[in-house]
Amino acid sequence: MIKSVTELRAVVGFAGRWAVLLVVACAQSNLLGADLGDSRHTPRNPPDDLSTMRPFRVPHRMTLTVGQDEGDLQGKDDKIIQAAVDYVFRLGGGAVRVLPGTYTMRNAVFLRPGVTLRGAGLDTVLKKTPCVSSRGIRDADWYEYGIQVADPKGFVPGCGIAVSNDKPDWPPVRLFTVTAVRENVLYVDRLIEKNFWIPDNAKVQTLFSLICGNDVDDVRIEDIVLDGNRAENENLDGNHGGAAFLQYGNRWTFRNVVAQNFNGDGFSFQVCDDVHFENCRSINNASRGFHPGSGSQRPVFKKCVAKGNSQGLFWCWGVCDGLAEDCTFSENTLYGTSFGHRDTDNVLRRCTIERNGKAGVLFRKEDRECLSGDRNRIEECLIRDNGCADGCGVDIRGETRDIAIVRCRFENSPKGKQKIAVRIGPEAERIALEGNAFTGCPVEVSDLREKQAAAKDVHP
């Protein structure tokens, strides 16, 4: 027991000396580790070098080929691709290479962790079948596995379906896979978990995504075309599907993927982190081209194109720390890109935003200040010929705050309708405009805050 301050100081001094020695020893160990880092942690020889006696400690994953008339597995529809994905997943991950051809999609391909799905570029097309629809003729309760329909024609085992009704509750649609058809009863792969009743106009449709992942991490999709056959399909809401749709998944990479002609979103992902797109195109989809959905963090879009959709890039709810760089958002019927509900700290850099129907960039008006899309940055972008009638390049609405528009070019051609380059709403605050250039825009900056302040001065 320590009985005096003197004894305490002696003990502390002794411990202190040992602490110093321990720190020095750790530092020396770290330096030694740094000196030996290459030899201890980086193989001196390639893992396939057979000239040494080194153990084979680097796993090599399988690549399985799928083709219509050749390959390890042969077929022409979604089932053969799904079989390949599941086979590779069982072996710890790897790649499925889909050879050229147009594959008939009666259901989504459900991806698995650690699997790469790779096509042959524009020569590999996954195309959705025409939609089949039938009304329900018997109330389906939440605890059932089957739905009775008026006409079962066109519904086959393995096909994907969407079940919905006119009741305004959430979710508005539920997705299943048909496991069996018995007369006019469609049996599905799990409990329907929602009531679909006749008075609410329950119906079943063969609607589904072409690529899907739920609670799946670490997936790569490369060099493939997803065709939604929009002309022969009904709409599937982007919160539940898209040409490519994922939910609660992290670290997905899309490279050289085309999503086109889907009656809904092109690429949609909900509550997903670190989803990356490179050289992807979303063309002629009925809804959003790229839809980083609720709560998704750190999405990255590089050298991507969204053209002919309703919106090019739609930042949904609570999307943060995202980057869109060297992208083109053009000829979308509503907006090139839009920010809103708690979308924070995102960057548009060196993007071309042109000929969109209502505005190039929209900051949406939210119900309350705490929900606005703040601290977003637009830099070195070309924003031209957007809007109809009195079109607007950048439209900042609601109580949006801390937006920076830096070194951008705003252009309006002689026949263009982008009459206003930047419009700042009366409730917006701390909007920074720095180093921008304007060509042909009748109004460079329309600051409604100034008009509101002037009105208050006139009418105190």
Query: 217 and 183 in contact (C-beta within 8 Å)?
Result: no
Please list the pLDDT of the chain residue by residue as tens digits (460 residues): 545 545 545 544 544 544 444 444 444 444 434 444 444 556 566 666 777 788 888 889 999 999 999 999 999 999 999 999 999 999 999 999 999 999 999 999 999 999 999 999 999 999 999 999 999 999 999 999 999 999 999 999 999 999 999 888 777 799 999 999 999 999 999 999 999 999 999 999 999 999 999 999 999 999 999 999 999 999 999 999 999 999 999 999 999 999 999 999 999 999 999 999 999 999 999 999 999 999 999 999 999 999 999 999 999 999 999 999 999 999 999 999 999 999 999 999 999 999 999 999 999 999 887 889 999 999 999 999 999 878 899 999 999 999 999 999 999 998 889 999 999 999 999 999 999 999 999 999 999 997 666 655 555 5
The tokens describing 425, both together, are 């709403």
0.95 cut: is pTM over it?
no
- What confidence tens digit (pLDDT) does each residue in 59-100 have? 899 999 999 999 999 999 999 999 999 999 999 999 999 999
Question: Which element (helix H / strand E) includes 86?
Answer: helix 78-90
The candidate with the shortest Cα–Cα distance to 403, out of 315, 317, 343, is 343
Q: What is the pLDDT of residue 49?
A: 74
Question: Rounded CA gap, 182 and 195, in Å?
Answer: 21
Query: 351 and 330 in contact (C-beta within 8 Å)?
Result: no
Residue with tokens 């309760």: 141
Q: Please, what's the b/e burial string for 338-353 (b: 16 or more CB within 10 A of its CB; e: otherwise)? A: bbbbbbbbbebbebbb
Residue with tokens 């063969």: 206
3-class secondary structure, 437: strand
Q: What is the pLDDT of residue 204?
A: 98
Q: What is the largest CA-CA distance in the chain?
A: 94
